[in-house]
Amino acid sequence: MQIRIFDVEHGGCALVTTDNGQHLLIDSGHNSTTGWRPSVYLPQQGIHSLERVIITNMDEDHASDLHRLRNAVHIGAIYRNPTVSPETIRYLKGQDDIGPGIDALADMMTTFTGGVPAVPDLGGITFDFFWNSYPYEFQDENNLSIVCILRYPGLNVCFPGDMELAGWRKLWERPDFRLAMSDVHILVASHHGRMNGCCP
């Protein structure tokens, strides 16, 4: 198993390659300074299919290349907070503030409606997903991030999106979340390392 975390400035993008040759993308941000984009990089590396794309947060910096990516490679499934509908994304963003990546996500959410295998063969990788619910618990994008815990024998990595203090505290109320986080080896800093992404 290999995890590559790319420099996409203020954003997120990580490629996971499984032991059985599958590829998964966690967020699909791009680097506006260098021009690096997953939609260009993946085909250059001979990667033309992604088993899944996980969007941890519904801000543009986590999906800024998604509109190009979906035309460049086959995407088997989209994972995101399931309590947030395409209509809700557009409502939260407003008509003038939705970027092309999040617009593509909202569009894909209406077409990626098929089921995925209950236990797909990812070469020993499994995932735990946790989220707060819209609108009952939170109505802001950051605290509606999906916390993704990648598990591989001997290595557990948490990608928490832009979860902020209030969202963390709500999740910590859940015994299953506390148990899942208890053996995480690597925590990718929430909200790009900002203090409001920390939960003391």
**How much is the mean pLDDT over the chain?**
93
Kindly report whether the global pTM for this prediction surpasses the value 0.85.
yes
Residues 48-65 have pLDDT tens digits of: 999 999 999 999 999 999
Nearest to 83 by CA among 127, 126, 164, 137: 137
Give Cβ neighbours of residue 168 (< 8 Å, ≥ 6 apart): 190, 199
Tell me what pLDDT residue 116 has.
55
Map out the domains of the chain as residue ranges.
2-197
Mean pLDDT of 176-191: 95
Tell me what pLDDT residue 96 has.
63
Mean pLDDT of 83-97: 86
Angle at 52 between CA 48 and CA 55, to 5 degrees: 115
- The CA distance from 14 to 162, in Å, is 15
SS3 state at 117: coil
Do the Cβ atoms of 143 and 136 come closer than 8 Å? no
Tell me what pLDDT residue 112 has.
77
Mean pLDDT of 69-93: 94
Mean pLDDT of 87-109: 89
Tell me what pLDDT residue 192 has.
74
- 152-183 core/surface letters (b: 16 or more CB in 10 A; e: else): beeebbbbbbbbbbbbbebbeeeeebeebbee
Mean pLDDT of 20-43: 98
Q: How confident is the model at residue 113 (pLDDT cuts 50, 70, 90)?
A: low
Q: Is residue 97 over pLDDT 80?
A: no
CATH of 2-197, one of 3.40.109.40, 3.30.450.190, 3.60.15.10, 3.90.1200.10: 3.60.15.10
